[in-house]
Structure 1
Amino acid sequence: MTAAPDTTLDRLSSRIVGRRDSFFADDLAAAAGELSQIIRGSRILFIGGAGSIGFQTLRSVAHFAPKALHVVDHNENGLAELVRALRSAPEPLKVDELLTMPIDYGGDAFRLWLGSQPQSYDYVLNFAALKHVRSEKDPYSILAMLDTNVLKLSRLSRQLARQSSLKRLFCVSTDKAANPSSMMGATKRLMEHAMFSPTLDWPEGLGITSARFANVALSNGSLLQSWENRLALRQPMACPEGCRRFFVALPESGHLCTLAGLLGEAGNIMVPALEPDEHLMLLQDVAGWFLEAQGLSPYYTRDEAEAVSRVEELAAEGKWPVLLTPLDTAGEKPYEEFVGAEESVHPTRFASLRRVPYLPPAAPDSFDALLRQLEGVMASDHGQPLSIADLKDAISSVETGFARTHVVSAKSLDQRI
């Protein structure tokens, strides 16, 4: 019987998430035989696989010896690092055909390449996303989020219609899609609509699942990765004050997506069975634990000038400045949740996972109308004035609650260190 991948967490990750082994270790071990049966000899396409979560999932899936792993990502450097990491890992790579393609999954090169493949894929796992709340600062960045998170997925449905042996599609979502307060969260909720829309061209009988989950500690672009970078560059750290977040470690994100993507119940959004009383972490505490792992103690301040000017002085005393900032920028949510106001949550056969059945828009035709509107904007051959208010109205035509839950502010994360 095939054993599960190693699920032991490193010391820093373990301190942050509060556990030595992966939250999903028992379920992954119990499902190892089933995963081996469906993955071994299969052909799998990873979209956005060079990102942190995509790579962790790919590494987890590769353990079960697929025949082909094809990875598409516009991040050329990320793909190079992915290959190096896989080839130099202690465990030999159990994949007959590893192919990396530095192309955008929404572009013509991808369309032509996918159409040229002589064999169909068994599974498609999609991790491509624009995922920063800070991108809410202008309408054209929001439009790019809509393009990547929604329109390209709509086009993918047409391209996958010719994949005759395709069994499953998985796209990663975010906790911020539940009662979205940011444009990013709203675009990911629209992504969920695209995934499960009966009017798009997904192959008949295709099993489709998604997953919303917590902050991934030390992932690319994460707050914790920024702390690593700031220490290396001798800069103060920054931390939202009074903010609590759920965390999963990098390997846990791959374990979750492996279970959700390949064994989750079709038509559902999988969420981790994390409990607020036990698993919500105060970010100030996490900053302290992070610095303790570096042999330092935190010096908290709300004065940006002090934080910047005293780095070397405090470092000589074994301390590091941590600037505490108010949670008052556009789109920022003071707490995390995995289930929307009108949604329901149910147990699964996995103790570590719950499922949220997909809930379609209240107005059945609204999502298709939005797609047509956005495609029209993107196809325009001349500059078209856009406003954040216009895009918010367009999104609210589908997600009616967004007009109420959206957090508006003149302040942006780009205005802070």
Structure 2
Amino acid sequence: MYFELNKFIEEAIVERAGSLFEKDLALSGKLLRERIQDRSLLVIGGAGTIGSSFIKAALHYNPKRLYVIDNDENGLTELVRDIRSSFNLPADFEIKTYPIDFGDPVFEKILINEGPFEIVANFAAHKHVRSEKDPYSIEAMLHNNIIKAKRLLDLLCIHKPEHFFCVSTDKAANPVNVMGASKKIMEYLILAYSSKIKITTARFANVAFSNGSLLFGFTQRLMKNQPLSSPSNIKRYFVSPQESGQLCLLACITGENGDIFFPKLGEENMKTFAEIAEKYLHKLGFTPEHCQSEQEAIQKAQQLNAGSKTYPVYFFTSDTSGEKTFEEFFTDEEELDTNSFSQLGIIKNAARLPLEEMDVIVQNIEAIFKDDKVSKSDIIAKLKEILPSFHHIETGKSLDQRM
């Protein structure tokens, strides 16, 4: 079943040979090298798909030191193996990885003892819509995406980098789920701190086959002879893992303070997960066999053998909470710069709140969880008070109730 996944992503998902940002990288090449060469990088959440792609994009410009923070110890091990197997690194290049949480007290010791770091990028985030299924998961999400992000910003005001990047999401534009709302509040937070340090961020599309994504799940299901299942009515933009890292690098290094970057993709670039599932199976030599229920799909998957030419799929109309049927990178009220880059747009002068007001907002979020009995609906009501643009979609169903 193995084939070159990168080629499939290029041909069937993003439908372009080479990177979307190839021209922008070329035009910014001199500036990127000037600002990265011989510098030190600290990448938080660097073992994930986007963080590791950012690192690989940056390594082309010869940084001197790379420090990576991630609580995924196995992911860090693979990252080092991957880097040392892919790059002809100079003998004096320094790479260190730390399997810790950036919210732990030990993290500050790294800033104090191993810094200064000219470039700091934070990719540590709860990124799944499914993580809003209950108050416990929501608390962990808001703690990671907002509260720990604020602590990091407070530390960086003491140990100031030349460039700080914190990843956002397209779901922050007109949010309908808690993850998007948490990232919109995070955007307000980093913009409030932009008066103290240089900060940029990016909203971008789904990263094809990123760790934990639905497309990544397709690969896992195939390896285990399990059916493919996906909503049929959810449209998304996609970028390749390589493009995700390049987008974040361009935003981090070339962006002006407070800029929010996004890829220039039109509605014609959107695809449904069901469409990709069928293309994936065709690429592997299978004909999709459409099933009417999860149970039917599971039964037919159990009958698969080495000679099978069909593969069971179950496609359904999405009915889970927080699921927007389409994707958008900006709102009508936001000021756009679509001329500075070939394939990147920038939201300029984004709405922001005073730092003092953000301090109160974060304190209010922390206060929500002092009540051990707080419910999901209570949390969402509080978030709507903080973020009037948050229009939550609640159906009473979670993605954990789907295959």
Following TM superposition, by how much is the alpha carbon of 1:197 offset from its aligned partner in structure 2, in angstroms? 1.1
Question: Does the Cα contact within 8 Å between 1:9 and 1:21 map onto a contact in 2?
Answer: no
Match of 1:174 in 2: 169
- Whether 1:416 and 2:392 are equivalent positions in the alignment is no
One-letter amino acid of the structure 2 residue matched with residue 275 of structure 1: G
- In 2, distance between residues paired with 1:85 and 1:150? 31
Post-superposition Cα deviations, 1:134-182, rounded to whole Å, max 9, x if no partner, equal 1111011111111100111111122112225x21110111111110111
Question: Does the Cα contact within 8 Å between 2:198 and 2:258 map onto a contact in 1?
Answer: yes
Shift of the 151–295 alpha-carbon distance from structure 1 to 2, 3 Å rule, reads: same
Question: 2:363 is paired with a residue of what secondary structure?
Answer: helix
- In 2, distance between residues paired with 1:231 and 1:409? 30
Question: Does the Cα contact within 8 Å between 2:235 and 2:273 map onto a contact in 1?
Answer: yes
Question: Does the Cα contact within 8 Å between 1:366 and 1:397 map onto a contact in 2?
Answer: no
TM-score, length-normalised on structure 2? 0.93
Following TM superposition, by how much is the alpha carbon of 1:300 offset from its aligned partner in structure 2, in angstroms? 2.3
| Residues 360-369 or 261-270, more deviating | 360-369
Match of 2:10 in 1: 14
| Residues 287-296 or 340-349, more deviating | 340-349
Following TM superposition, by how much is the alpha carbon of 1:272 offset from its aligned partner in structure 2, in angstroms? 0.2
Match of 2:331 in 1: 340
- Whether 1:211 and 2:202 are equivalent positions in the alignment is yes
- Whether 1:112 and 2:109 are equivalent positions in the alignment is yes
Match of 1:30 in 2: 27
Match of 1:4 in 2: none
- Whether 1:264 and 2:255 are equivalent positions in the alignment is yes
One-letter amino acid of the structure 1 residue matched with residue 376 of structure 2: I
- In 1, distance between residues paired with 2:6 and 2:186? 33
| Residues 207-216 or 8-17, more deviating | 8-17
- Determine which of 170, 181, 195 is the counterpart of 1:186: 181
Match of 1:248 in 2: 239
| Residues 290-299 or 266-275, more deviating | 290-299
Question: Does the Cα contact within 8 Å between 1:9 and 1:22 map onto a contact in 2?
Answer: no
One-letter amino acid of the structure 2 residue matched with residue 68 of structure 1: R
Match of 2:48 in 1: 51
| Residues 101-110 or 348-357, more deviating | 348-357
Question: Does the Cα contact within 8 Å between 1:9 and 1:251 map onto a contact in 2?
Answer: no
- Whether 1:148 and 2:116 are equivalent positions in the alignment is no
Question: Does the Cα contact within 8 Å between 2:111 and 2:159 map onto a contact in 1?
Answer: no
Match of 2:278 in 1: 288
Match of 1:375 in 2: 366
Following TM superposition, by how much is the alpha carbon of 1:398 offset from its aligned partner in structure 2, in angstroms? 2.4
Match of 1:3 in 2: none
Match of 1:80 in 2: 77
TM-score, length-normalised on structure 1? 0.90
- Determine which of 198, 203, 216 is the counterpart of 1:225: 216
Question: Does the Cα contact within 8 Å between 2:191 and 2:352 map onto a contact in 1?
Answer: no
Shift of the 370–116 alpha-carbon distance from structure 1 to 2, 3 Å rule, reads: same
Question: Does the Cα contact within 8 Å between 2:335 and 2:349 map onto a contact in 1?
Answer: no
Question: Does the Cα contact within 8 Å between 1:172 and 1:212 map onto a contact in 2?
Answer: yes
What are the within-5 Å matches in structure 2 for residues 288-367 of structure 1?
288-313=278-303, 316-360=307-351, 367=358
Question: 1:324 is paired with a residue of what secondary structure?
Answer: strand
User: After TM superposition, where is structure 1 displaced by more than 6 Å over at least 4 residues in a row?
Assistant: 362-365
One-letter amino acid of the structure 2 residue matched with residue 259 of structure 1: L
One-letter amino acid of the structure 2 residue matched with residue 79 of structure 1: L
One-letter amino acid of the structure 1 residue matched with residue 381 of structure 2: D
- Determine which of 369, 379, 397 is the counterpart of 1:391: 379
- In 2, distance between residues paired with 1:99 and 1:329? 41
- In 1, distance between residues paired with 2:323 and 2:229? 15
**Alignment coverage as a number of residue pairs:** 397
Following TM superposition, by how much is the alpha carbon of 1:207 offset from its aligned partner in structure 2, in angstroms? 1.9
Question: 2:201 is paired with a residue of what secondary structure?
Answer: strand
Shift of the 413–51 alpha-carbon distance from structure 1 to 2, 3 Å rule, reads: same
Question: 1:45 is paired with a residue of what secondary structure?
Answer: strand
- In 2, distance between residues paired with 1:241 and 1:87? 40
Post-superposition Cα deviations, 1:271-310, rounded to whole Å, max 9, x if no partner, equal 0000112x11132221111112222222222311110001
- In 2, distance between residues paired with 1:341 and 1:133? 24
Gaps of 5+ in 2: none
Post-superposition Cα deviations, 1:179-230, rounded to whole Å, max 9, x if no partner, equal 01110111111111111115xxx673x2211000101001101111000000
Following TM superposition, by how much is the alpha carbon of 1:363 offset from its aligned partner in structure 2, in angstroms? 9.4
Gaps of 5+ in 1: 1-7
Question: Does the Cα contact within 8 Å between 2:226 and 2:302 map onto a contact in 1?
Answer: no
Question: Does the Cα contact within 8 Å between 1:45 and 1:124 map onto a contact in 2?
Answer: yes
Question: Does the Cα contact within 8 Å between 2:335 and 2:350 map onto a contact in 1?
Answer: no
Question: Does the Cα contact within 8 Å between 1:367 and 1:398 map onto a contact in 2?
Answer: no
Question: 1:350 is paired with a residue of what secondary structure?
Answer: coil
Following TM superposition, by how much is the alpha carbon of 1:314 offset from its aligned partner in structure 2, in angstroms? 5.8
Shift of the 366–320 alpha-carbon distance from structure 1 to 2, 3 Å rule, reads: farther
One-letter amino acid of the structure 1 residue matched with residue 96 of structure 2: L
